[in-house]
Each structure stands twice: as C-alpha cells, then as structure tokens.
Structure 1
C-alpha cells in the first residue's frame, strides 16, 4: 500500500476537516445519552461533558483571535458559553467551519508565519500558524478523550474518533 506524501498545507487542511468530523461524532454521541448525563457532575476539571466541550470551544475562539491578530477577551479557560448541548454544537460548528475555511486560504508561506500572542496568564509567546492549527486540533482530541472517559461512567460506548478511522474513510 502506498500513501501520498502530504505537504504542510495538505496536512493542515486535513486536520481541520478531521476536527469537524470527530466533533460531529462526539456531539452526536453525547446527544444520544440518557437525559441529564451531559450535565451530570463528575470528578473532572470541567465538571461535566458540557463543561469540557465548552472548554474546547473557548480555546478554539482564543486561538482564532490569535490567528486574526485581535484580542479574544477571555480571562479564563473554563467559561461555559453554552449550557445547552444544541447551542454549544451550533457554536462549535461555526468555529470548526472557520478553521476549515481558514486552512483552505493558507499557503506554505502563510503557515510558516509566526504569530505573537499572550497566554491568558500573561506570558508572551509565539508560534507558527501551522503549529497553532495543530495545537487546536490536538487540544480538542485530548479533551474529547476526557469526554470519552465520562462515557464509561454512564456507562455508554463512546465513538471512535481516532485519526486513522477518519483517514480510512469509515465515516458512517
């Protein structure tokens, strides 16, 4: 089996689409849980599935602002922007589509550009645009894992959102 060698542009575009796909599976699975499970408090940092998914949205919005060179306005990373799953999913789809559209406009040169930003804690830092996108996708994967762990507490089966499943094309 041979695979096509991907450029950084190809990889960034693929990762943005992977993110939308994985989030769709996760939100669909959370929606299908028995009533109250998404908001049931659990022994985790963001307290609930909704809290954890809100954290992902907040981080996405922060990095979107960094990529756009503007202030994001957040003072904390644990803000619940949307208490209802349907509202949260609608907002997440908007930002995920923004990242897809953004990735489609990038070139190798723009992805190599360094973005200077300030962490919420006040520390100055800099990353390339490509590294920022990779972080956004990786961060969401990490916290979808937290949600997956909470599925075991229901108990319920969480969806397989692994990158190889996406790349294989089993996207039923």
Structure 2
C-alpha cells in the first residue's frame, strides 16, 4: 500500500467519522446541557480550525488564523458546512498528489509565531490524527451525557465502506 492510498483511506474515514460526530452533536443540541454542548462545539471547532490552517500550510499559502480556537464556537450548521467542505477538500487534494509532492518538506509558521517544517505527508498525517484525538474528546462528552457516541474507528469505516472485507476468502 502506498502512502497516498493510505492517506486517501484515512481522509475518507475522517469524513465519515466527522459526519457521525456532527449527527451526535445535533442530538446533543436537542437534549444536552447547553454548557456541555458549547464545550463539545468548541473542541470540534478547534479541530476544524487546525484542519483549515493545514489546508494553507500544505499548499505553501498563508492563512488568516491567529489562534487554533475561538471563545465562541460557530452555530452547528456553520461548523458542519465548514467541516464537510474541508473534508472534501482533503480527500480531493490527497488524490492529486504524487510521491515527490508527499515527501516535499515545507516551512510554515504556527499561529503562535513559531517556525515549523514538516513534509507534506507528515502534515497530512497530523491532520488525520489530530482530528481523531478531538473527535474522541467530543465522543467522551457525548457518551457521558447521552450514553453513546457515533462509531469512530478506522476498521469500522473500512468494513462499512467495503462490506466484502468481512467475507472470508475460500483458499
């Protein structure tokens, strides 16, 4: 399996898991305590902002972000639109990269002003793993308040996306 194939699968999985989490947040909005809902939105918004920052970084572009979070999170509908748009962008972007572009080292500046340098594939791996960490954080809030959280495992995604993976080969 190539790095590009793996990254494509990871970003497709991320989009799937983000969709589930957005549905869980919509449920929490209807039945959860407002302060807990706001905290969950803030956490997921942070993950989305970091995703957007790295959209710029992997393209060697500047961005307007001065922080990786916001005191007041956006409304769920606005956050959902941003998350979905960003997820589509990453899936499409990774599909267009060649191995040399994946390995290319890029200098950038963190929101605190510190310099950074990572390969494009390292940045993409960061986005995928960072988002998973924060989905887990929101998932814990959902589980504590509602008793469950949306599915969020790579294996779960792969088997839903490709049900034939559950079949045993007859060898």
Query: Which category describes the TM-score, using the shorter chain as reference length?
Result: 0.7 to 0.9
Q: Which residue of the other structure, out of 15, 39, 54, is the alignment partner of 2:45?
A: 54
- Aligned counterparts of 2:116 and 2:29: Cα–Cα separation in 1: 43
**Aligned match of 1:89:** 80
- Aligned counterparts of 1:170 and 1:96: Cα–Cα separation in 2: 16
Q: Which residue of the other structure, out of 94, 99, 106, is the alignment partner of 1:108?
A: 99
Residues 1:167 and 1:64: Cα distance change in structure 2 (over 3 Å) = same
TM-score, normalising length from structure 2? 0.86
Shift of 1:61: 0.8
**Aligned match of 2:22:** 27
Residues 1:81 and 1:171: Cα distance change in structure 2 (over 3 Å) = farther
- Structure 2: runs of 5+ lacking an equivalent: 164-171
- Aligned counterparts of 1:34 and 1:142: Cα–Cα separation in 2: 21
Q: What is the RMSD of the two structures over their aligned residues, measured on CA atoms?
A: 2.2
Q: Which residue of the other structure, out of 103, 111, 116, is the alignment partner of 1:125?
A: 116
Which whole-Å deviations, capped at 9, do the CAs of 1:49-77 have from their partners, x for residues lacking one?
11111101110111011112121111111
Higher relative contact order (CA 8 A, sep 6+): 2
Tell me if 1:41 matches 2:32.
Answer: no
Which whole-Å deviations, capped at 9, do the CAs of 1:128-156 have from their partners, x for residues lacking one?
11111111010000000110111133133
Q: Where has structure 1 moved over 3 Å in runs of 4 or more? A: none
Q: Which has the higher helix share?
A: 2
- Structure 1: runs of 5+ lacking an equivalent: 1-5
